[in-house]
Amino acid sequence: MSADRRTGVIHVHSDYSRDSGDSLERLREFALEHGLAFIGLTDHAEDLGPERFDAYVRHCRSVSDAQVRVVPGLEFRFEGLPGLHLLALGLTRWVAPRTPDEFIVEAREAAMFTIAAHPVLAGYRLPPVVANGIDAIEVWNASYNTRYLPDPRAIRLLHAVRRTRPEVVGTVGLDQHDSHNYRQTRVVVDGTHPDPVGALKAGRFTNAGRTMTLGPTVEWGPVRLGALSLARWALDRVERLQERLARRIARPQHSEGRRPAARSLRSL
């Protein structure tokens, strides 16, 4: 990698989240193993509080150096709005927003970069306050969309938001809870920018996955988006078929006390 480019990953969970087992030290090793210069953490806000968050920020600082930067951040969800998850990267102080409105106001002061995560879970609908205040939309979540293809409907949502707010960008995210299952969606930022999260906000980056790269604005026309939609449809049908076969195979094995061997594409 040239000196003016830096590769990193975002939307990563550590053991500060209850559903992840990776310590910050393990994530630093993971970064070194895969040639990553930074990790954008987004641990679950409900699993921390003010004191634990302060310790979290100090811990991130202690495992960061010139080789790897571990960036503290949180993922927020909101009562009454299932599926709406908002990420705050580069968070410098504890915030506890109860609503999306509060998130937009508080994150603007306390975080460097905000993302509407995996819009598929929210039915591709953003409250107006989010659409009018968010910095980015996650157009490829390696957990919910698989590592193979981005989400065409999320890209269309990005295009719709950008009609009135052209500064909004599209990002890819790992949504990683286990470093042993690295799905390889990553961001390559302009290394001449003094801070990788600042480069994300400035749109000075490229998204990269196993099968393709995406610019920050994903300026794809209807033909390319149509082809992606068709490929996405086919991949999802294959996955559903695989899951049905896995359940059929599992039934007799469960009755005999054995675990099923088949896995769906979501685990790949």
**What would the pLDDT profile of 10-61 be if each residue is shown by its tens digit?**
999 999 999 998 999 999 999 999 999 999 999 999 999 999 999 999 999 9
Q: Could you tell me which of 216, 151, 211, 219 has the C-alpha nearest to residue 183?
A: 211
Q: Are 95 and 64 in contact (CB under 8 A)?
A: no
What lies within 8 Å, CB to CB, of 260 at 6+ separation is 246, 249, 250, 253, 254
> Where does the pLDDT of residue 4 fall: very low under 50, low under 70, confident under 90, or very high at 90 and above?
low
Please say if the pLDDT value at position 74 is more than 50. yes
Half-sphere exposure at residue 85, Cβ-oriented, CA atoms within 13 angstroms: 19
- Percent over 70 (pLDDT), the chain: 89
Give me the pLDDT at residue 260, please.
Answer: 43
Give me the pLDDT at residue 126, please.
Answer: 97
Give me the pLDDT at residue 253, please.
Answer: 52
Give me the pLDDT at residue 16, please.
Answer: 97
Q: Are 184 and 149 in contact (CB under 8 A)?
A: no
Tens-digit pLDDT profile for residues 110-120: 999 999 999 99
> Where does the pLDDT of residue 1 fall: very low under 50, low under 70, confident under 90, or very high at 90 and above?
very low
Q: Could you tell me which of 99, 144, 136 has the C-alpha nearest to residue 118?
A: 144
Average pLDDT, the chain: 90
Q: Could you tell me which of 34, 234, 259 has the C-alpha nearest to residue 146?
A: 234
Residue type, position 24, single letter: L
Assigned token pair, 149: 């293809």
Alpha carbon distance 72, 113 (integer Å): 11
Higher pLDDT: 139 or 193? It is 139
Alpha carbon distance 221, 6 (integer Å): 28
Give me the pLDDT at residue 123, please.
Answer: 95
Alpha carbon distance 251, 191 (integer Å): 52
Average pLDDT over residues 193-201: 92
What is the pTM assigned to this prediction?
A: 0.88
Give me the pLDDT at residue 194, please.
Answer: 84
Assigned token pair, 30: 């993971």
Give me the pLDDT at residue 60, please.
Answer: 97
Alpha carbon distance 135, 42 (integer Å): 15
What lies within 8 Å, CB to CB, of 247 at 6+ separation is none
